[in-house]
Amino acid sequence: MHSPPTGHHALRNLSFTGGAALLLLLAEINGAALRLTALDGVSTNAQFGLLVAGIGLVTYGLDGFRWPALTRREWLAAGALTALALVIRAWAVDSSIRALVDELNFTRAIQTAWSDPNVKLLVPFSDITAFPFLFPYWQSWAVDIFGRNFVGLRAVSVLLGALTVPALYLLARTLFDRPAALAAGVLLAALPPHINFSRIGINNIADPLFGTLALAYLARGIQHGRRGDYALGGALLGLTQYFYEGGRLLFPLLVTAWVVAVLLISRRLPEAEGVPVSQEWRGLRSADGRRGLLVFALAAGLVALPVYYTLAARGASAAERLNTELVMPTASYWPQIFTPDGLRQHLEEHLLAAFRVYFDQPDTTLFYAGNTALLLPALVPAFVLGVLHALRRWRQPGWLLLLLWVAAASLGNSFLLDSRQSPRYVVVLPALALLAAVGLHHTLRWLVRVRWLALALLGTVVAGLAVYQVNYYFNDHLPAYNRYFRAVLDYRDGQDAVLRGLAYPPGTRLHIISRRPLPEDYITGLLAFMTDSLQVDFFYSDTISVETFQHLTVGADHIFFVEPDDVDVIVLLHERFFLRPPAYSPYGLLLSEQFALYEAPYVPGLSEQRLMREG
C-alpha cells in the first residue's frame, strides 16, 4: 500500500473525520443520550442523508470506492445475471402470494413513515421485529413509486434479492474463477428459497447482499493489498447490522473466524506450496495486510456504531429476539443436554436438524414451507460434491470460507428452539449456490480433460438446473404453498376477502361473517395498508340477528363476506338487504378456503325500510 500525495492525504483525513462526525450525529439523533432538543425534529430523510453521507465520507477517507477490476465481458455477464434474477423475482409478485407473510409489522412501519416525517431511522420499529427502521423506510419509497399494493410492499426485497446475484458473482470471481462465478450466479438466481424470500416484504433478504459484498471486498483487499477494498468491505460489513438479526450475528463472526483461520493456515504453509490463491493470501501476514485489516475493522465499527449507540442509549438489547421463549429454549433446557438422553435428543432435534434443512428436512414455518428441503433433490449431488472438494482443499481461503459459512449458520441455528426455520438460513443461501457451482465445475474439470467440453457441459448442467428450479418454484411450490398456507391456518381467507373488497368505491362498508375466529389484526392491517377509504368489521355467524343489521350504517353500500354454506346467515341477509348474486374469488381458492361475496347496494328509501323493519 503506497502513501498518497500529501494534499490528497489531507483530503482523505478530512473526509474520514467529517464522515465519522456525521455518523455520530446520526447516532445521537436516534439515541438521544445527550438530550439535545435541537435534534428532536430532524426528518427521516435528513437522517438517511446523514447515513449515506457518513458512510460515503468514511469509506472515501479510508481510500475506498474502487470499482472491481472486471473485464467488459464480465460486467456484461454480471448485468445479465442481475436482469435474470430481477425478472424471476418480480414475475407475478403481486398475485402469486396474496396474503401478508409476516409482513404486518412492516406495513405498519410504512404507514408510520407516511404519518411521521421525523420518525427515528435506527430505532426498532416494533417489539417483535426489533430492527432499525431503515428497511421499511426504503419500502415507503417503493410504495410511493408502485402504489399501495403488494408490488410496492415487496419491491425492495425483489431488488435486494436480485442484487445478491452479482454480489455472489463478484465473490466467486475473486475466490475461484469465471466459470464458477457464472455458475454460482445462475444457480442463486434460480434457487427457490432465495427467490421466495426476495418476494416477501421482510428484511431477511438484505443480510446476504451486504454480507456477501463484505466478504468479496475483504477477499479482494487481502489478495491485491488495496486499502480501498478493505475500507469498502468493512463499510458493507457494518451495514449487515441494520437489518435482520441473522446477518447481524453471523457475518461479523464469520469474517473473524475466516481471517483468523487463514492467518493460522498461511503461517504453516510450506514455501513451495503451489496453490496460487494461498500464496496471494500470504500478504495477510504482512504489515500492509495488518493495516488493511485495521482499516476494515475501523470502517465496519464506524458504520455499525449508530445502531449500537441507539440501542445502548435506549436500554435495548442488541439481539432482542433471542430474549424470547419463542426463539430460544428456556434456561432449564441446557442442563439436560449433559445427560445421555438429553445430549442425544439435542444432537438429533437441534444439531442434526440444522444440517438436514439442506437435504431432507422441509421448512417448519409459513415463510417457505413446501415439501422439500432448501435444496431440491437434483441440486443436492452438486452441493455434496462442493463440500467434498472443499474438505479436500480446506487450506485454500475460498474453500475454507464456504465450509465456515455453512457450518457457522447451521451451528448457530442449532442453539435455537426450532433449528429448522427457513428465515434463519437466508444468510447462507449464497454459500449453498456457490458450493454447488464449484462442486460441478471442479468435478467436470476433473472428469473431462478437454477444457471447452468441460465448460460446455458445465453450462448445460447449470442451465438445466436453473430451468428445473424455476419451474419447480412457480409451477409446483407456489400452488402447494398457497394450499398449505390456508390448510394450516384452518380458517377461511379473510385477507382475500378484503382484497376483493378493494374493487368497491370509497365509503362502502365491508363485513366479514365467520363461524370461527379470524386474525383480525392481519386482515385490518392489510386493508389499512392498501387504502384509507374502506373499513371492515367482523361478526360471528352465531351472534347475527336482526338487531345486528339495524346498527349498520344507513345510506351506504354494504359488502358481506359469508361462508358459502352458512345458510341461516345468507337467508337473513336476503330478508334485510337487496342482494346481488354471490361472487367468489377469482384467484384459484377452493370453495372451502374463501368467503362468498354478497353485494348489497343502497336503494334509497327501500333499503332503509327493509333494514329497519322489526322481526
Ranges assigned E (strand) in 472-520:
509-514
* CA–CA gap between residue 139 and residue 148 (Å, rounded): 11
pLDDT at 614 over 90: no
Q: For residue 132, which of 318, 299, 302 has the smallest C-alpha distance?
A: 318
Q: Are 378 and 468 in contact (CB under 8 A)?
A: yes
pLDDT higher at 190 or 328? 190
* Interval 369-394: pLDDT, tens: 988 999 999 999 999 999 999 999 99
Distance (Å) of CA 52 to CA 144, 206, 295, 361, 464: 21, 16, 19, 41, 41
pLDDT at 281 over 70: no
Q: How does the average pLDDT of the chain come out, rounded? A: 90
In degrees and rounded to multiples of 5, residue 600 shows phi and psi of: -120, 85
Which range in 65-69, 281-285, 325-329, 538-542 is most confidently predicted, on average pLDDT?
538-542
pLDDT at 276 over 50: no
Q: What is the pLDDT of residue 314?
A: 87
pLDDT at 273 over 70: no
Amino acid 233 reads G
* CA–CA gap between residue 597 and residue 582 (Å, rounded): 5
* CA–CA gap between residue 513 and residue 283 (Å, rounded): 70
User: Which sign does the torsion angle of CA 428, 429, 433, 439 carry?
Assistant: positive
Q: What is the pLDDT of residue 595?
A: 96
C-alpha cell, 87: 425478472
pLDDT at 138 over 90: yes
Residue 288 C-alpha from the chain's centroid? 36
pLDDT at 277 over 50: no
289 Rama sector, left if φ>0, alpha if ψ -120 to 50, beta otherwise: alpha
Q: For residue 424, which of 211, 208, 233 has the smallest C-alpha distance?
A: 208
Domain positions in the chain are 11-316+342-483, 494-612
Distance (Å) of CA 136 to CA 51, 115, 219: 15, 13, 31
Q: Are 596 and 563 in contact (CB under 8 A)?
A: yes
Q: What is the pLDDT of residue 271?
A: 46
pLDDT higher at 161 or 320? 161
pLDDT at 68 over 80: no
C-alpha cell, 284: 495477510
* CA–CA gap between residue 438 and residue 168 (Å, rounded): 13
DSSP-derived 3-state class of residue 597:
strand
User: Which sign does the torsion angle of CA 412, 416, 420, 421 carry?
Assistant: negative
Q: What is the DSSP letter of 539?
A: E
* CA–CA gap between residue 145 and residue 217 (Å, rounded): 32
**Residues 6 or more apart from 491 whose CB is under 8 A from it?**
514, 516, 517, 518, 519
Distance (Å) of CA 488 to CA 104, 365, 366, 370: 19, 10, 9, 12
Q: What is the pLDDT of residue 95?
A: 92
The pLDDT confidence band at residue 326, using thresholds 50, 70 and 90, is low
* CA–CA gap between residue 496 and residue 516 (Å, rounded): 16
Q: For residue 318, which of 122, 39, 498, 86 has the smallest C-alpha distance?
A: 122
The pLDDT confidence band at residue 612, using thresholds 50, 70 and 90, is low
Cβ neighbours of 147 (radius 10 Å): 13
Q: What is the pLDDT of residue 70?
A: 78
* CA–CA gap between residue 282 and residue 289 (Å, rounded): 9
* Interval 231-260: pLDDT, tens: 999 999 999 999 998 899 999 999 999 999
> Which residues, listed in sequence order, are joined to residue 598 by a DSSP beta bridge?
560
pLDDT at 4 over 60: no
In degrees and rounded to multiples of 5, residue 197 shows phi and psi of: -75, -15
> Average pLDDT of 185-193?
98
DSSP-derived 3-state class of residue 600:
strand
Q: What is the pLDDT of residue 6?
A: 64
HSE of 70, CA atoms in CB hemisphere, 13 A: 21
* CA–CA gap between residue 276 and residue 442 (Å, rounded): 16
Q: What is the pLDDT of residue 433?
A: 98
C-alpha cell, 267: 503461517
Distance (Å) of CA 538 to CA 205, 480, 510, 513, 517: 35, 29, 9, 6, 9
Q: What is the pLDDT of residue 274?
A: 43
Q: What is the CA radius of gyration of the chain?
A: 28
Q: What is the pLDDT of residue 320?
A: 67
Name the packing angle between helices 178-189 and 451-471 (round to 10°): 10
**119-128, 226-235, 404-413, 545-554: least confident range:** 545-554
Percentage with pLDDT > 90 across the chain: 68
DSSP-derived 3-state class of residue 456:
helix
C-alpha cell, 8: 490528497
CATH 3.30.2420 is right for the domain spanning 494-612 = no
**Residues 6 or more apart from 274 whose CB is under 8 A from it?**
none
* Interval 24-51: pLDDT, tens: 999 999 998 988 888 888 999 999 999 9
The pLDDT confidence band at residue 280, using thresholds 50, 70 and 90, is low
